[in-house]
Amino acid sequence: MPRPKSDVNKSEEIRKLLAENPKMGAQDVVAKLAERNISVSSNLVYFIKGKMKGRRGRRKRAQRAVANVAATGSSDPLTTIRKIKTWANEVGGLKKLKALVDALSE
């Protein structure tokens, strides 16, 4: 038998609270909603917080990727790949180029 639908969208209520105060902890959110007679689990709060953070993270990664392409001055990926292959041939192969890049990133 399906559960009866409630009039309250719990996830939306959690989002509203977190929008007002993003630093609010999960237990605080559960307590605040309990005052309004809305029962939620802390797992749901953590899930919603993660989804909200994930959206921002994807946006930031996309903006960084666009900035990196703009900084290189070449929006043609084929040209970039050809340059990388040329560099790999100069240093002795892709494995050596990767090892050099890993050494530089440390």
Q: Which two tokens stand for residue 27?
A: 């237990």
Residue range of the domain that includes 83:
74-106
In a domain, 35, yes or no: yes
pLDDT of residue 94: 87
pLDDT of residue 71: 66
In a domain, 24, yes or no: yes
Query: Both 17 and 31 in a single domain?
Result: yes
Query: Both 69 and 79 in a single domain?
Result: no
pLDDT of residue 84: 85
Measured from the Cβ of residue 48, the count of other Cβ atoms closer than 10 Å reads 21
Query: What is the average per-residue pLDDT within 15-29?
Result: 92
In the chain, the number of structural domains is 2
What mean pLDDT is reported for the chain? 85
CA 59, 57, 10 angle in degrees (round to 5)?
105
In sequence order, which residues have a C-beta less than 8 Å from that of residue 73 and are 6 or more positions away?
none
Query: Both 63 and 99 in a single domain?
Result: no
Query: Both 49 and 93 in a single domain?
Result: no
pLDDT of residue 11: 93
In a domain, 27, yes or no: yes
Express each pLDDT in 50-92 by its tens digit: 888 776 667 777 778 777 766 666 667 788 788 888 888 988 9
